Structure 1
Amino acid sequence: MSNQIALPTKRRRLPSTSSSSATATNTITVSADVASLFECPVCFGYILPPILQCQNGHLVCSNCRPKLTRCPKCRGPLGNIRNLAMEQIATTVMFPCKYSTSSCVVSLLHTEKEEHEVACEFQPYSCPCPGASCKWQGSLEEVAAHLIMSHKAITALQAKDINLPAAMDWVMVQSCFGHDFMLVLQKKEKFDGHQQFFAIVQLIGSRKQAENFAYRLELNGQRRRLTWEATPSSIRERVSSAIMNSDCLVFETSIAQLLGDNDNLSINVTIYMV
């Protein structure tokens, strides 16, 4: 899909049975039951090593422990007693991902749990609007509607006043191939006193889904052409990280003036499947 778009300059702060297989099934069932013994009585998350107990043997997770002065069960002092037996048992238990309530079916050893959850595609999506201090979180299906309803400057109109000295954001949401894409164009100082433009396309979707697409950004004017082609990043990734690594279309204000038309800048955007 190919479109010529331009963006408004409005500034914002902006997924027969053998005996050996029967034994494996029993092991999984036992692990699921044992995992429930590690449930924190305060936050209902899992208590993972190192595991500390109160003087009566009650456990609490490492996240809740600093907030407590007494054991939430017996009201006794928490102390710093290691429960080595529970730590040993924890090494054999398969713990569900904390996003299991959002349909993640993965269970892992406690040593693998944190790394998986950082990248788990079932975790809630945060608002991807760059420059905004928006704290919204929700499902993937809700992201595009949130952007359009809550961030009114997101549109598909023309980017004007490219000579303005302040940092600016232009954002457009475009639908094609059954997915929503977000084009971001930012004017900012990456280095002191040096204004540049940065443009990138992100898929409103997962990292795995983004690998199915590619995009091309193209600026034309005065018999000149500037082109950038890449795989879109997922909105799981921060636009600021792409800008810091120059993993996007980067051009100087002098180029914008050269390719612009009466201080208006238009970008041809092509999105295609790979």
Structure 2
Amino acid sequence: MADALVGPQPVPRPLPAGEPMAAADYRRLVGVLEAVDRVPGLRGFQEQLVRALQSWYGYAGVAVLHGDTLREAVEKGCGVQGGYSPRFLADYAARWADADPFRTERTHRLLMSAGVVTLNEVAPDGEYGERFLRPHGISDKVGTVIDGGAAGVLYVGMAVRDSPHVPARDVAVLHTLRRHLAPLAVEQLTRHREQLALGTDWRLTPREWEVARLAAHGLTNQRIADRLFVGIDTVKKHLTRILDETGCANRAQLASRWREGG
């Protein structure tokens, strides 16, 4: 009997020499992605990301903020924070917000170009770190940004407590994590913007929201199924739930509501 498999036995490709990330880092990365990949809303996405970064990577304090621009995300603080004490946040707001190097145009330009930036890179010996962060037990900070274009910007800031500086390995991890988080974050930002435009509190899952968007734009059930790689019966079930949640009698009403929202 002939073998089912042809050709030489393949072997796993060796990892590049000097790989900055260990196998455990990749497992933690997958853990973070699994924590956020099916969350039904931007707020829940931000909350889950805060918890995942704390539990999988051990960051003491995490802020996940969003806005139309990076400046808006950082300065308005629209999002979720975890791990910071009320005293620290009050002291920051009262005395140190204007001195925060992560609120400067220079750091914003660096973040948008590099993707990941540490406090040690932008203000290694500044009084913000020496007089404010270190007395509160924070030795360094690192920020990363995901630019969603018209959908907005997601900023993630993390505080380091047990190391004088953010280790190079952590920076490498964050660069990789940022690339994998980007499509999930952009999807959440886009859906959030659509919800605001519609002026609705529709409680739809991410998949239901995508089906609703495609149906509102005139795609047939079959085309939606092909686009999302699901069966047509699955699309029908989603549409039934969508029409019930939105109070629309049919697809035409759904499309009309969508157009009214811009």
Answer whether TM exceeds 0.5 for this pair: no
Q: Which has the higher helix share?
A: 2
Structure 1 length as normaliser, TM-score? Answer: 0.30
If asked which structure has higher relative contact order (CA below 8 Å, sep 6+), I would say 1
Q: Which has the higher strand share?
A: 1
User: Quick check: which has more Rg, 1 or 2?
Assistant: 1
